[in-house]
Amino acid sequence: MKKIKCFTFIFACCLLQAANCFSQKVTNVNPVNEGNKIIVYYSISGVRYFQTLKVSLYVSMDGGKTYQGPLKAISGNVDNITKGAQKIVWDVFKDVAKLEGNVVFDVRAEVIEKERKKSLFLSYFGSYYSPVGLQFGQLGKTGWYVSARANPNILKKANYNCNNKGIIDYTGKGYYVFDDKEEQKCYSVTAGLNFQMGWNFFWYLGAGYGTNQLLWHINEYTYPDDERAGDVYARYTDYSYSGLEIETGFIIMLKKKFLITVGVANLNTNIDLTEFTFGLGYNF
């Protein structure tokens, strides 16, 4: 039986051959002699969710000046590697006639990227002030979306503007009286991008236009008979806002089809107008 001569293992810093990503690392390489076999222990880190590694082993008997490989008589953890502690078992004399000198092992890993498919989605999308809405877009490595939210008062029109002193632009021919009725008119239209963070996890960021108006109800009367002429709304200017709306959040995919959306939206960079958003959808 052939025997492995006594020698000192010297292993090179591990090379990772990745054409488009350099975050993967092969570390803690530790060769151990067991009879006519050598077990090379190593660790993998930095592999992204859409990547796996195919590992090969090279050996040098002149301190790393030249290498033989990739070695064929290997088994163990060599394919579909993602992370953690691994090992390669090398049946030495099936590849080389003898093993002696300053032996250096080089563990090399090829990055294999899984395909990240794009798909369309449609979700119910709402918030406390704007509970009715839709979000439509495309999920993928980098996707897009458009969304709209509103409440049932979206069609209510404010004929006038008011503050705590009364209507500031009244043009009626009679007079008016405020009652206790008030409404909140809210809607927003946004668009943005989503980014795949994991197989079933996406982050989105977008912006658009939004409005949140407080409407006070008034009854109008005519002179001199005090007959009721109608009822309209006045926008309370101190608590009505319109302008830039920014939103961000996460989309979680369940069973590759169903979507849950959670996020926050802010209107006019006003902390008081920050609200949670939520959604339920379907991935096509």
Rounded to 5°, the CA angle 166-172-173 comes to: 125
CB atoms within 10 A of CB 164: 7
Low-confidence ranges of the chain (pLDDT < 70): 1-23
CA–CA distance, 25 with 103 (Å, rounded to integer): 22
98-136 burial, b for 16+ CB within 10 Å, e for fewer? Answer: ebeeebbbbbbbebeeeeeeeeebebbbbbebbeebebe
Tens-place pLDDT, residues 143-173 = 999 999 999 999 999 999 999 899 999 998 8
Give the three-class secondary structure for 274.
strand
- Specify the pLDDT at position 7: 41
| Tally of residues, the chain | 284
CA–CA distance, 139 with 103 (Å, rounded to integer): 49
Beta-ladder partners of 42: 86
Amino acid at 125: F
Taking the CA atoms of residue 171, residue 175, residue 177 and residue 182 in that order, the dihedral angle to the nearest 10 degrees is -20
Q: Is 187 in contact with 154 (CB distance < 8 Å)? A: yes
Amino acid at 220: E
- Specify the pLDDT at position 141: 93
Beta-ladder partners of 265: 247, 275
Which one, of 80, 32, 30, 78, lies nearest residue 52 by Cα? 80
- Specify the pLDDT at position 41: 94
Q: Is 251 in contact with 137 (CB distance < 8 Å)? A: no
- Specify the pLDDT at position 1: 43
User: Contacts for 66-70 with beta carbons within 8 Å, 24 or more apart?
Assistant: 67/104, 67/106, 68/95, 68/96, 69/106, 70/108
Q: What's the whole-model pTM score?
A: 0.74
